[in-house]
Amino acid sequence: MENEKKEQVVRIKQELKGVIEPKLVRIISFTVITVSLVACTVLCILAIWKFTESDAVWRAIATFIVVSVATGIFTFVNEKLG
């Protein structure tokens, strides 16, 4: 019974392979997306209070979406094809 549990744990650890270590890629992706989200939120708040132009907000939101999709795709490709 205990041997079966160890075999399952070993199999799960062996499945996560990538060109770059998947755990590191996930941490970096999470950090990049979080920083982008915080920056976008700050710009939106500044636009509400008219400290910045509304055009900057739409560019920030578009940039956030592009960065999020790109990091998500990179994470997926690294884990599946790496």
3-state secondary structure 28-51: HHHHHHHHHHHHHHHHHHHHHCCC
Better pLDDT: 44 or 2: 44
pLDDT at 42: 93
pLDDT digits (tens, 9 = 90+) for 8-59: 665 655 666 788 898 999 999 999 999 999 999 999 999 899 888 888 889 9
Is the pLDDT at 5 greater than 80, yes or no? no
Q: Is the pLDDT of residue 65 over 80?
A: yes
Give Cα separations from 51 to 30, 37, 40, 46, 74 (angstroms). Answer: 29, 19, 14, 5, 35
